[in-house]
C-alpha cells in the first residue's frame, strides 16, 4: 500500500560509562534519552500502525552486563521489555542484543577493540551481523535475539564464579587465579605490567608516564587491577592504580611486597623500580604556605576562628558593583531574597594581570575564580 509505514528500526544510543558510585542522574538521562524515551516516542506514534517489521537495536550489556555500563544495560533492558510487550499485543517486534561490531558502532576504535578482545569477547563481522539482521526480520523470530562472539574459556576466566545464566558453559572455564597465601604469590615484573597495560589501553605506554594521562580511564584502572590481582595472587587495594600512578611505581610496589613475603623486606628495590616511599604521600606532603579568601574579607585563620566561635554571619546584601537590585521585588519574595543576599568575596573583580604577564583583554575574559586561584596560589 503506497504511503503506509511498513517498518521501524530503532538504532539510537549513546554511552556514558562510569563506575556505579560515579553514576548520576545526568549520566542516566544521557543514556536513557535516545534509547528509552526515543523508543517510547516511536511506540506512541506507531501503536496503531500495522507494521510488518519492528527491530530494536539492544545490547549484550542487557544480558550479561558490562564494566561501567549499569546505565546502558538498564536502558537496553527497557528496550527488550518494549519488544516483548509489542509481541504480547500481537504486534511485530524483535529486540536484538548486539555484541560489539568490528568496523562500526561504539566499539569501532582500535583501543576499545583491543580491550574488548582481551576480555574474551570477539567482534561481529559484517556477514555475521547481516545474518542476524535477516533472522530478526523473519515472521517466526523470537521477541529477543542475542548475537555475541565469545571465547568462553577466556571470558569466564575473568569471573570469580560463573553466573547461573552461563552455567551451561562452565566446563569451558579456565581456573580462576584465586588469591592465595604468601607461598602462592607470584612476582609481577615491569614487563608483565607493561603487557597488561597494552592489552587494557590498546597501545604501549612509557613506564614513567602517568597512566591516567596515557589513556587509562577509571574503568580501565579497575580492569588492570583485576589482571594484576590474578597475575600476583595477592589481594590488592582498590586504589592501587591511583596510589602508584606509573608502571614503574607499580613494579616497585610488587617488588617490595615480594621481598616482604620472602623475609627480605629491607632489601633494596630492584634497578629501575620506584620504591614505595616514592609515592608515600602521607610521608612527603607538607604545607609550607597558606592563603585563603572568604566572604566579609576573611583572609586569615584567626579571623575564621573568630567568626566561627561567635557564630558570625558571612551572608550580606549584594554589593552594588555586582548587580542591580532595582528589579528584585518583581521576582517574588523567595527569588527576590536569593538574588539580594549571598556570600560575596571582596574585591573579586580586581586582578594584577601584569604580575602574571596576562594582557588586560585576556584578564577580562578569564573566569574570576581562575584569577583568584592564581593570586592566592602565588601568595601561598
pLDDT digits (tens, 9 = 90+) for 241-297: 878 888 888 888 888 888 887 776 554 555 555 554 455 545 556 777 888 888 888
pLDDT digits (tens, 9 = 90+) for 93-105: 999 999 888 877 7
Single out the residue of 57, 43, 56, 45 nearest to residue 89, CA to CA: 43
User: Of the spans 33-42, 253-262, 370-379, which averages the highest pLDDT?
Assistant: 33-42
**What strands lie across the sheet with 53-59, from one edge to the other?**
7-10, 53-59, 94-98, 144-147
Q: Which of 23-32, 99-108, 171-180, 284-293 has the lowest mean pLDDT?
A: 171-180
- Please report the domains of the chain, with CATH numbers, ordered by start residue: 7-169 (3.40.50.720), 182-284 (1.10.1200.10), 295-379 (no CATH)
Cell 594484576 sits on residue: 228
Q: Which pLDDT score, from 0 to 100, does residue 359 have?
A: 85
How many CA atoms lie less than 13 Å away from 246 in the CB half-sphere? 15
Between CA 123 and CA 133, with CA 129 as vertex, the angle to 5 degrees is: 150
Amino acid at each position: 500500500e503506497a504511503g503506509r509505514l511498513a517498518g521501524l528500526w530503532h538504532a539510537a544510543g549513546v554511552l556514558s560509562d562510569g563506575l556505579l558510585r560515579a553514576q548520576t542522574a545526568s549520566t542516566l538521562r544521557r543514556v536513557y534519552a535516545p534509547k528509552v524515551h526515543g523508543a517510547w516516542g516511536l511506540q506512541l506514534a506507531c501503536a496503531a500502525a500495522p507494521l510488518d517489521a519492528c527491530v530494536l537495536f539492544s545490547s549484550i550489556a542487557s544480558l550479561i552486563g558490562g564494566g561501567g555500563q549499569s546505565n546502558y544495560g538498564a536502558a537496553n533492558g527497557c528496550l527488550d521489555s518494549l519488544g516483548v510487550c509489542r509481541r504480547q499485543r500481537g504486534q511485530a517486534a524483535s529486540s536484538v542484543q548486539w555484541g560489539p561490531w568490528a568496523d562500526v558502532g561504539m566499539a569501532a576504535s582500535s583501543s576499545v577493540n583491543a580491550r574488548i578482545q582481551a576480555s574474551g569477547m570477539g567482534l561481529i563481522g559484517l556477514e555475521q551481523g547481516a545474518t542476524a539482521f535477516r533472522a530478526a526480520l523473519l515472521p517466526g523470530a523470537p521477541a529477543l535475539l542475542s548475537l555475541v562472539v565469545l571465547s568462553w574459556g577466556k571470558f569466564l576466566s575473568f569471573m570469580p564464579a560463573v553466573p547461573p545464566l552461563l552455567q551451561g558453559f562452565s566446563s569451558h572455564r579456565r581456573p580462576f587465579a584465586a588469591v592465595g597465601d604468601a607461598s602462592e604469590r607470584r612476582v609481577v615484573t615491569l614487563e608483565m605490567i607493561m603487557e597488561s597495560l597494552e592489552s587494557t589501553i590498546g597501545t604501549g605506554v612509557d613506564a614513567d608516564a602517568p597512566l591516567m594521562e596515557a589513556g587509562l580511564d577509571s574503568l580501565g584502572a579497575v580492569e588492570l587491577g583485576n589482571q594484576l590481582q590474578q597475575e600476583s595472587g595477592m589481594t590488592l587495594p582498590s586504589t592501587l592504580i591511583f596510589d602508584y600512578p606509573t608502571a614503574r611505581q607499580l613494579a616497585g610496589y610488587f617488588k617490595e611486597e615480594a621481598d616482604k613475603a620472602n623475609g627480605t623486606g629491607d632489601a633494596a628495590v630492584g634497578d629501575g623500580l620506584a620504591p614505595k616511599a616514592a609515592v608515600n604521600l602521607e610521608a612527603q606532603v607538607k604545607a609550607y604556605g597558606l592563603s585563603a579568601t572568604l566572604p566579609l574579607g576573611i583572609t586569615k585563620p584567626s579571623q575564621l576562628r573568630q567568626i566561627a566561635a561567635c557564630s558570625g554571619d558571612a551572608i550580606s546584601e549584594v554589593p552594588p558593583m555586582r548587580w542591580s537590585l532595582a528589579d528584585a521585588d518583581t521576582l517574588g519574595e523567595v527569588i527576590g531574597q536569593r538574588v539580594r543576599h549571598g556570600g560575596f568575596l571582596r574585591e573579586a573583580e580586581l586582578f594584577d594581570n601584569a604580575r602574571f604577564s596576562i594582557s588586560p583583554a585576556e584578564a577580562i575574559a578569564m573566569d574570576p575564580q581562575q584569577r583568584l586561584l592564581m593570586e592566592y596560589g602565588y601568595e601561598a
